Amino acid sequence: METTTTRSGTAKARRGGVKFVLLHHGGCLGGGFHYRIDADGGVRAELEESERGQHARSIAVVVDGDFDDVAPSEAQLDALRDLLLKLKLRYPTAEIGAHRQVRGGTQTTCPGKRFPMRALAEWSRNELLSERDAVLRRDFESQYTQI
Ligand SMILES: [Zn+2]
């Protein structure tokens, strides 16, 4: 079991691998977010990926704003897609989902009714995978030419 020294020293280490990347919005009542995307699309780490966040076996990403009322900005969605690509390279089998899809959890609309979850899920099954493969191919080719 991997343990991490943290700022507080009280965070729990994650058990098991990362199965999901779960999306949240600023209106989420739970804490335990690994990454926060602010209103301008800035990305900030709040927990180590090795620490347990709001849900077991998940990386939690919160996008600032209450998306029951408004939709996220393009800057936020761009930053989110960049972050999801990085996470997908580290956790190739992790699926991207909404907090509200967690079974047995408390009833929530998180990440908000106006968050484009369907479009993002569609993107994660198509463009995200081809972008991930393109990055892996470039990595491979850059190693190959150095031999
Ligand atoms: Zn949430």
Domains held by the chain: number = 1
Asked whether residue 12 is domain-assigned, the answer is no
Amino acid 141: pLDDT: 87
How many Cα neighbours within 13 Å face the side chain of 25?
Answer: 24
- Give the domain CATH number at 92: 3.40.80.10
Q: 116 alpha carbon to ligand 1 midpoint, in Å?
A: 15
Per-10-residue mean pLDDT for the chain, 147 residues long? 46 81 95 97 97 94 97 98 96 94 87 97 94 90 73
Q: 110 alpha carbon to ligand 1 midpoint, in Å?
A: 5
Q: Which two tokens stand for residue 19?
A: 């199965």
Helix, strand or coil, per DSSP, at residue 136? helix
Pairing relation of β-strands 43-45 and 35-37? antiparallel
Q: Which helix (H) or strand (E) holds 62?
A: strand 58-63
Q: Are 94 and 59 in contact (CB under 8 A)?
A: yes
Q: 139 alpha carbon to ligand 1 midpoint, in Å?
A: 34
Asked whether residue 6 is domain-assigned, the answer is no
